[in-house]
Amino acid sequence: MSTISIASATEVFDLLKGDLAAIEREFGRQADSPVSVVTDIANYLMSGGGKRIRPMLLLLAAKALESDSEARIRLGAVVEMLHTATLVHDDIIDEASTRRGRPSSNTTWGNAKCVLAGDWLYMQAFQTALEERNFRILDLLISLTQQMVEGELLQMEKLGHLINEEEYFDLIYRKTACLFQVSMRLGAVIANPVPFSAVEPEQDSPHEQTLGEYGRNLGLAFQIVDDVLDLTATDDVLGKPAASDLREGKATLAVIHALERGTGADREAIRTVLADRSFARVAHTDILEILQRHGSLAYAMDTACAYAEAARQSIADLPENEYKRALLWVPTFVTTRDR
C-alpha cells in the first residue's frame, strides 16, 4: 500500500470546485429543452443539491491519470444526468413524496410528466456521450443502463420477501455501485482516448479495471451506509421519511443479518413489517432494538468499512499525486457521513 498521505475534505474541494462548477453549468445547458416542462423538472432536480459524488469520481479518475481533457466536464454532466434520471424514476416507483427535504418532482408535476422527463434525461445523456465519438464510452453507458433497469426490476420482484446477502449485494451493485464503477472507468477512458472506430467495445484503457474496482467497492460501501442511515437517522436529517426501505418492503443488510441470527419472535416481527410495508403492527423502535441487540447495524457498518478499505487498496499502483490523495479520502467521506 502506498504511504502517500490522505487528502482533507478542504483540499479535495479546492482541487475540484472549478470543474464541479463547470459540470453544473454543462448539466444546465444540456437540460435546456424547447419543451419547458422538461427544463423545469431538470432544473428543479439540479437545484435540490446532492453530493455530486459520481461526477467527482470521474474527475478524480481522469486527473489521477493526468488528463485535462474537456471530455471530463461533458461526461461528468452525463453521469449526473443519468443519476438524476434514476432518482426521478425511483421516486415514482417508490411513491415517494419527498426528496432531499423537498417535495419530490412527481408530487409537483405528476407521474406521467416525470416518467417522460426522466426518459428525456437518459436520451440527452446518451446524445452528449455520443459526441465523444468513442465506442468504449457508449459500451460502458449502455451496459450501465441495462444493469440499473435490471436492478430496479429485480428489487420490485423481491419487495416484501426475504432475501439473502448474495441477492442483496447483487441488487446494490446494479442499483448503485455500477454507476460508481462506470464513473471511474470513464475517467480512465478520457485519459486514454482512441478514434471512434479503432477500438473494440470490450477493450480496456490502461488503469480502467483498477479504477473500476475502486468504484465498485466504493459504491457498495456507499449503499450499505445509505441503508443503515435509512434505519437510524431522523426524517429531518435524511430529508425524507426514516425507515423508508422497510416501509417499501426492502430487506437491507442489517435486516438480513438480524433475520439470520434473531429469535423466532425477532424474525416474525421483521417479516411482519416487510409484509405489511408499514409499522402498524410492529414499531420502528422495536425493529431498531432487534438490530442493535444482534449487532446487525454494527455488522453492516463494518462491512461498509471493509469495502471502503478495499477501494483504497485497489488504487495502490496509481501514480502518486494530489488526485490519488483525494481518491484515498473519498472512502472516509462515504463511511462517516450522516445523510
pLDDT by residue (tens digit) across 51-93?
899 999 999 999 999 999 999 999 999 999 999 999 999 889 8
**Which residues of the chain have a pLDDT value below 50?**
1, 199, 201
Contact 46/31 with Cβ under 8 angstroms?
A: yes
Q: Which of 148, 218, 185, 194 is nearest to 58 (CA)?
A: 185
Question: For 99, phi and psi rounded to 5 degrees?
Answer: -150, 120
Q: Can you give the pLDDT at residue 195?
A: 53
What fold characterizes domain 9-334?
Farnesyl Diphosphate Synthase (1.10.600)
The pLDDT of residue 338 is 85
Q: What is the pLDDT of residue 80?
A: 96
Q: Which pLDDT score is estimated for 201?
A: 47
Q: What is the pTM of this model?
A: 0.93
- pLDDT score for 1: 46
Query: By the 8 A CB rule, do 217 and 311 touch?
Result: yes
Within 8 A by CB and 6+ apart from 298, the residues are none
